[in-house]
Amino acid sequence: MKLVVIGGSGLIGTKLVSQLRNRGYQAIAASPSSGVNTLTGEGLAEALKGASVVIDVSNSRSFEGATALKFFETSTRNLLAYELAAGVGHHIALSVVGLERLPEYGYFRAKIAQEDLIKGSSIPYSIVRATQFFEFLDTIADEATEGSTVRLASALIQPVAADDVAGALADIAAGAPVNGVIELAGPETFPLDALIRRHLAALNDPREIASDPQARYFGGKLSERTLVPAKDARLGATRFESWLSQTGREISSTNLKPTAGTSGRERLVASTKSILVLASLITGALITASTLMAEETITPLMSNDLAGVAGKEVLMYTVDFPAGFSSPVHRHNAQVSVYVLEGSVVMQVKGGKKVTLSPGQSFYESPSDIHIVSQNASSTKPAKFLVFLVKQKGAPLVIPEK
């Protein structure tokens, strides 16, 4: 069975594609870097040919309401139209728990618009609403920071690991459409301010947490259960301390305890212990919310036949990496020159040294190079670079590699 993952090179997308392939499915990672663009429709017809299931985990590059709305409406309309033409039998979309309970947040209104388009289509569907990812905690803290203080309410939060989200999506893709909403959450519920305090402590982050019942969450006011699911939600297996240790963050003494769970699950009592960090924290592992499902943006600037060389073409385009973004392993089978315009990026080809490039610095790839590292060096700021590429005319821009 062929399954297409829209947003297949983002955090959830890469994990999902890997899990699907491990289960024996033909999983296609579709994203702008592989020539599939849901905003323009480019590459969609070919990517969806013969597909039984489409899983949309793509995301707007901005949480700003109008920008997010334009992205979700345009991409979802295009995607559903091409799916209908291709005879796709199951559309799955990743969404967020609590959309209707935080109407002040423009991004949530944009996700509601996306869901409405899906529900109004004739294509059988499943909408998976997940709670905030553990990988989202950095961004929650950053958004709530005023100077050196992080101001947060003590509303409940039930975060879930990205691996568990990918696993749930793979399970749902293997089943029949529910034509409704499935909620997904982690196994533990915490007060938001206490959880972020613990998270920052694990990072040795000096910011102080100020508990404030009036504190805004991305512009909206939280009630106690705005961010948590109903009692019948599907629960992931990964607990907070397990996630911390898996990501290489030190677990130190803490009095943080989860509140009573929704299904009478065993309560976690955090004991005093110390775990040595197994490796230095890699910058690229600190993935913020905007990159959990976000994709790089490729903007074509020029495309011409290469004068005097039959069958060759020269391309010039810019690439925008969201904060924390990392591309899958790939090659171009082309002469490629990269020039950094904004931010900083980390590059490495197989057999070469890993380099971090700042604005004004450049990088070269030969046709035989396999690009094993291509990522934004920052977990909080975007990066942008210019690409000058010479390749065989009609050949794919990017070729995935294992």
- Residue 135 in contact with residue 287, Cβ under 8 Å? yes
Per-residue pLDDT at 271 exceeds 70: no
List domains and CATH numbers for the chain.
2-290 (3.40.50.720), 296-400 (2.60.120.10)
Of residues 4 and 63, more confidence is placed in: 4
pLDDT on residue 117: 97
| pLDDT, averaged across the chain | 85
Under the banding of pLDDT at 50, 70 and 90, the label for residue 208 is very high
Q: What is the pTM for the complete model shown?
A: 0.66
Q: 18-26 long-range CB contacts below 8 Å, 24 or more apart?
A: 18/166, 19/166, 19/167, 19/170, 20/170, 20/173, 23/170, 23/174, 25/1, 25/173, 25/174, 26/1, 26/2
Cα–Cα distance measured from residue 322 to residue 27, given in angstroms and rounded to the nearest whole number: 24
Q: What is the dihedral of CA 120, 97, 62, 67, to 10 degrees?
A: 30
User: Which among 341, 377, 290, 402 is positioned nearest to 10, based on CA atoms?
Assistant: 290
pLDDT on residue 248: 58
Under the banding of pLDDT at 50, 70 and 90, the label for residue 120 is very high
Of residues 259 and 362, more confidence is placed in: 362
Of the chain, the percentage scoring pLDDT greater than 70 comes to 88
pLDDT on residue 220: 87
What confidence tens digit (pLDDT) does each residue in 139-167 have? 899 889 988 899 999 999 999 999 999 99
- Please give the average per-residue pLDDT across 264-287, as a whole number: 33
- Please give the average per-residue pLDDT across 240-266, as a whole number: 57
Under the banding of pLDDT at 50, 70 and 90, the label for residue 255 is very low
Cα–Cα distance measured from residue 262 to residue 230, given in angstroms and rounded to the nearest whole number: 8
Per-residue pLDDT at 21 exceeds 80: yes
Q: Which one of 44-53, 284-293, 325-334, 358-367 scores highest in mean pLDDT?
A: 44-53
Q: Which of 54-63, 120-129, 259-268, 351-360 has the lowest mean pLDDT?
A: 259-268
Per-residue pLDDT at 343 exceeds 50: yes
- Please give the average per-residue pLDDT across 251-268, as a whole number: 43
- Please give the average per-residue pLDDT across 126-138, as a whole number: 94
Q: For the chain, how many residues are written?
A: 402
Per-residue pLDDT at 127 exceeds 60: yes
pLDDT on residue 100: 93
Q: Give the contacts of 186 (CB within 8 A, at least 6 positions apart).
A: 131, 134, 158, 159, 160, 161, 164, 235, 236, 238, 239, 240
DSSP states of 300-360 as a string?
EEEEEE-TTSTTEEEEEEEEEEPTT-BPPSEE-SSEEEEEEEES-EEEEETTS--EEE-TT
- Please give the average per-residue pLDDT across 186-209, as a whole number: 93
- Please give the average per-residue pLDDT across 320-336, as a whole number: 86
